[in-house]
Structure 1
Amino acid sequence: MSDVRRERASLAGVVFAVLFAQVLLYPGATDLVAAFDASDPETASRWFLAAEFGAFVAFAGVWGALSDRAGRRVPFIAMGAVAGGVGYGALAAANVRLAGALVLRAAQGAVTIGAFSLAMTMLMDLSDDHGKNMGAAGIAIGLGTALGAPVGGELTEIAPRLPLVVGGAVLALAGVFALRVPDRAPEGHGDSLRAGLRVLSNRPSLSVPYAFGFIDRFTAGFFALVGTLYFRQEFGLDAGATGLTLALFFAPFALLQYPFGRLSDRIGRTIPIAVGSATYGLAVVGVGFAPALGLAQGGMVVVGVLGALMAPATMALVTDIAGDDERGVGMAGFNAAGSLGFLAGIVGGGWVAESWGFESAFLLAGGTELLLAALALPALLRLD
C-alpha cells in the first residue's frame, strides 16, 4: 500500500471513530437520558443530541483557524480525539441529572469536532484527487454511522450508558493512532485567529457547498432523532431493530461514497449534487408516508444511495475552492454548516413530530430539502 493510501486509510479511521462513537447513542437516546433522570425522555433526548452539535458549530472554526495558523494538524487531531474520549467516559461515570449531562455533552462536542474536522482537512491535504479523498471521508462517515446504529442498539439493551463507554474507548484509541500519521499541512500563515476566520467572508463561493452541506445534514439529523422515534412508535421496533433499520440508510451511504467521489473527479461536482438534491427530498417524504415497514425500509435504502451520490461531491467542492492555507477554516465552515443543519433537523423535526405528527415532520424534512436545493442550484451552476 502506498504512503498516500495508508495515510488516507488512517485519517478515514479517525473520521470513522468520531461518527461511530456519536451514532452509538442514537438508537437508545431516550433510554440514556432517562438514566440522567429526565422527566420527558423524548424531549430530553432531542436536547441531549443537540448539545453536541451546538458545540460543533461554536468550535469548528476555532480548531480550523488554529490549525491553519500553526501549519500543523496531527497534534490537534490527537488532542481532540483523546479529549473527546475522556468526555464520553465522564458522561458514562458522572452521577448527574440532565442539566449536568448537557454541560458535559457540550464540552465533549467542543473537543471532538477538532478531531473530526481536521482529519477531513488532512484528507484535503493529501493529493489533488479531491473527490477520491472526500469519498474516503464519506465512506468513513457512512460506515461509522452504519455500524454505530445497530451496535448502539444492542449495547443499549445491555445497559443505557454502555454506548458511552464503548464510544469513548474507540475515540481515544483513534487519537493515539493518529499520532503515527505524517503531517502534510501547508506552512502556517501566522495570521491571528480572527483574521483566519475572516477567510470565510473573503470567499463567498464557499457558501454553495455550505448550503448543500446544511441541507444534507438537516435530513441526517432528522433521521437520527425523528427516524428513531418513528420506527419505534409507528412500527413497534425495539432499540436493536431500530438500529438495524437505520443501518439500511447508512450502509449504502457508506459503501457508495468512494466510487461516487471518484465519479465526481471525472464528471465534475455539479451533476452528482444537482441530481441527488432533486430526488433526495422526495425519497425522504416517501419513507414517512410508507404504509408498511418493508416499504419504509426500502425507502431508507434509496435515501442512502442518493445521499452517497451528493456527499463526496459537496465536500470535494470545498476543497476545490479553498486555498492551500485556508483548508482548515474552509472545512471547519462546512462542518459548522452541516452541524447547524443536523441541529435544525433534530430540534425542528422533533418539535414538528411532537406537535403535529410524523407525516407532517417528514413533509417538513423532505420539503425543506427540495426548497433549499432549488434556491442553491442556480449558484451551483454559475460556479461550475
Structure 2
Amino acid sequence: MTTRRDRIVLASVVFVVLLAQVLLYPGLDTLVAAFGGGAALEGGMWFLAVEFAAFVAFAGVWGAASDATGRRVPFVVAGTIGGGVGYALLALLPTVTTMPFWAVLVVRLFQGAATIGAFSLAMTMLMDLEGGHGRNMGAAGIAIGAGTALGAPLGGQLYEVGTLVPVAAASVLMFGVAVLATVAIDEREGPVDDTESTIWRALAGVRDTPILLVPYAFGFIDRLTAGFFALVGTLYFREVFELSPGATGLMLALFFAPFALLQYPFGVASDRIGRTVPVVAGSVCYGVAIVAVGLAPTVQLAGAAMVAVGVVGAMMSPATMALVTDLARDTERGVAMAGFNIFGSTGFLAGILVGGTVADRFGYEAAFLTAGGVEILLAAVTVPVFLRFRMRRETAVASSR
C-alpha cells in the first residue's frame, strides 16, 4: 500500500508541474503584455526560455544537494513550495507595483529553478519504487501526458477569466501538491543518483557508443519542435487566426491529447515492427505536418494538421526512447536515458530561441518551414545509419542460431 501511495503522490507531483507549466501557454502574448515585456514574440521567447534555461542549469544542483544529505523527500517538497512561491510572485507583483521585465525574468528563473527540483527528483523516486519499472514509468508517462493534455484547454479558459488567473492557479496547484508530498511520501533508504556525474557519464557514453547520437539527435529535434509550438505556435494561432486564449488552448490540445493518449499503443507497435519505420518515416510525416500547420489557409485545416502532428509525434516518441534502450549496453541504460533527456531539454530551449528568432526576422511561414524542414532533413540523413544497424542486428541474430 505504501508503494502504491507513493507512486500516486509522486505521479501527482509530475502531473502538477506539467499542468502548471502548460497553463501559461495559450495566452502567452497577453501575459507578456501584462508584465511589460514589449513585443509578444520577443517577450514570450525570453519568458519561456528563462524557465527552460533554469531547468537545464539547476537539475544537477538539486541532484547534488540530494546526494549530500542522502534524502529526497525534503527536496521534492522544497521544489514544489519554491515553484508555488515563484508563480505567486508572478501573479501578485504586477498588481501591486511596476517592475521592469528583466525583474520578471529573474522571478521566472527562480520559479523554473525550483520547479525542476520537484520534477526531477519525483521522477527519480518513481524510478526507484518497487512494483516494476514499467508500472512506475507508466505512471510517470500518464502524469506527463495528462498534465500537458489538460493544461492547454484549461489554461485557455482561465485566461478568459483574467490574464493573471492561470499564473495564480499554477501557484495554488504547486502549494497543494507540496502539502500532499509532505504528508504522504515516505522517505526511503538508499543512495541517490549523482545527477552531475550522470551528465558527464552520459557524455562519456556517447563517446563509447557513438550510435547513441542517432536517438539523441531525434530527441533533440523532437523536443525542439515542442518548444517551437509552445512559443511560435501559440502566437501564430493568436495573431494569424485571431483566436482567443480559450480557442488557442483548444488548438494546442488538438496536438497534446493524441500525443499523450497514443504513445502506449504506438510503443507496443514499435516492439513488433521495429524502430526504423516509426522513427524515420514518422519524422518525415511529422515534419510535413508541422509545415502544413504553418501553411494552412483556414483554422479548420490548421486544427486538422495539429491532430496529425500529435498522432505522428506519438508514433515517434516511444520508438525513439526504446531505440536508446536497444543501443545502450545493458549496464548503462539508465545513463543513456539520462543523456537522451539532457539532449531533449536542450532541444526544447533551442526550439524557443530558434523558432522565436526566425519568426521575428522572417515571419511565421519561414519559422514553420524551418522547424519541419529540420525534422525531415534529419530523417533523410539518418536512413543509412538505420539500415546498417538493421543489417547488423539481422546478422547477429542469424549467427546466434
Give the TM-score normalised by the residue count of structure 2: 0.82
Task: Tell me by how many angstroms 1:379 deviates.
Answer: 5.7
CA–CA distance in 1 between the matches of 2:119 and 2:79?
8
Give the match's secondary structure for 2:46. Answer: helix
More moved, 219-228 vs 351-360: 351-360
Task: Tell me by how many angstroms 1:84 deviates.
Answer: 1.1
Residue 122 of structure 2: aligned partner: 119
Residue 24 of structure 2: aligned partner: 25
How has the CA–CA distance of structure 1 residues 39 and 121 changed in structure 2, closer, same or farther, with 3 Å as cutoff? same
Residue 174 of structure 1: aligned partner: 177
CA–CA distance in 2 between the matches of 1:182 and 1:280?
42
How has the CA–CA distance of structure 1 residues 311 and 194 changed in structure 2, closer, same or farther, with 3 Å as cutoff? closer
Q: Is the CA contact (8 Å cut-off) linking 1:289 and 1:359 kept in structure 2?
A: yes
Does residue 350 (structure 1) correspond to residue 356 (structure 2)? The answer is yes
Q: Is the CA contact (8 Å cut-off) linking 2:203 and 2:339 kept in structure 1?
A: no
Give the match's secondary structure for 1:198. Answer: helix
Task: Tell me by how many angstroms 1:219 deviates.
Answer: 0.8
CA–CA distance in 2 between the matches of 1:344 and 1:257?
24
Residue 41 of structure 2: aligned partner: 42
- Percent identity, aligned pairs only, is 59
How has the CA–CA distance of structure 1 residues 30 and 253 changed in structure 2, closer, same or farther, with 3 Å as cutoff? same
Alignment of 1:261-340 (within 5 A): 261-264=267-270, 272-315=278-321, 321=328, 327=334, 333-340=339-346
Residue 399 of structure 2: aligned partner: none
How has the CA–CA distance of structure 1 residues 8 and 316 changed in structure 2, closer, same or farther, with 3 Å as cutoff? farther
Task: Tell me by how many angstroms 1:13 deviates.
Answer: 2.1
CA–CA distance in 1 between the matches of 2:354 and 2:360?
10
Task: Tell me by how many angstroms 1:37 deviates.
Answer: 2.0
Aligned residue identity for 1:172: F
CA–CA distance in 2 between the matches of 1:70 and 1:265?
40
CA–CA distance in 2 between the matches of 1:89 and 1:322?
45
Residue number among 138, 142, 150 corresponding to 1:147 in the alignment:
150
Give the match's secondary structure for 1:146. Answer: helix
Kindly indicate whether structure 1 or structure 2 has the higher relative contact order, using CA contacts under 8 Å at least 6 residues apart: 1
Aligned residue identity for 2:168: V
Task: Tell me by how many angstroms 1:109 deviates.
Answer: 0.8
Residue 361 of structure 1: aligned partner: 367
Aligned residue identity for 2:191: E
Residue 372 of structure 1: aligned partner: 378
Residue 201 of structure 2: aligned partner: 199
CA–CA distance in 1 between the matches of 2:138 and 2:267?
5
Task: Tell me by how many angstroms 1:304 deviates.
Answer: 0.8
Residue 237 of structure 2: aligned partner: 231
Give the match's secondary structure for 1:235. Answer: coil
Q: Is the CA contact (8 Å cut-off) linking 1:217 and 1:342 kept in structure 2?
A: yes
How has the CA–CA distance of structure 1 residues 376 and 124 changed in structure 2, closer, same or farther, with 3 Å as cutoff? farther
Q: Is the CA contact (8 Å cut-off) linking 2:79 and 2:115 kept in structure 1?
A: yes
Q: Is the CA contact (8 Å cut-off) linking 2:61 and 2:196 kept in structure 1?
A: no
Task: Tell me by how many angstroms 1:104 deviates.
Answer: 0.7
Larger Rg: 2
Residue 61 of structure 2: aligned partner: 62
CA–CA distance in 1 between the matches of 2:385 and 2:124?
24
Q: Is the CA contact (8 Å cut-off) linking 2:205 and 2:336 kept in structure 1?
A: no
CA–CA distance in 2 between the matches of 1:129 and 1:378?
36
Give the match's secondary structure for 1:149. Answer: helix
Aligned residue identity for 1:116: F
Task: Tell me by how many angstroms 1:163 deviates.
Answer: 1.1
Q: Is the CA contact (8 Å cut-off) linking 1:136 and 1:257 kept in structure 2?
A: no
CA–CA distance in 2 between the matches of 1:322 and 1:312?
19
Task: Tell me by how many angstroms 1:83 deviates.
Answer: 1.3
How has the CA–CA distance of structure 1 residues 15 and 167 changed in structure 2, closer, same or farther, with 3 Å as cutoff? same
More moved, 173-182 vs 125-134: 125-134
Q: Is the CA contact (8 Å cut-off) linking 2:227 and 2:351 kept in structure 1?
A: yes
Give the TM-score normalised by the residue count of structure 1: 0.86
More moved, 145-154 vs 295-304: 145-154
CA–CA distance in 2 between the matches of 1:16 and 1:313?
23
CA–CA distance in 2 between the matches of 1:28 and 1:183?
39
Root-mean-square deviation over aligned CA pairs? 3.2
How has the CA–CA distance of structure 1 residues 171 and 77 changed in structure 2, closer, same or farther, with 3 Å as cutoff? same
Task: Tell me by how many angstroms 1:341 deviates.
Answer: 1.4
Give the match's secondary structure for 2:38. Answer: coil
Aligned residue identity for 1:13: S
More moved, 307-316 vs 157-166: 307-316
How has the CA–CA distance of structure 1 residues 326 and 266 changed in structure 2, closer, same or farther, with 3 Å as cutoff? closer
CA–CA distance in 1 between the matches of 2:226 and 2:61?
24
Count of aligned pairs: 380
Aligned residue identity for 1:347: L
Structure 2 unaligned spans of 5+: 394-401
More moved, 132-141 vs 44-53: 132-141
Aligned residue identity for 1:30: D
Q: Is the CA contact (8 Å cut-off) linking 1:53 and 1:339 kept in structure 2?
A: yes
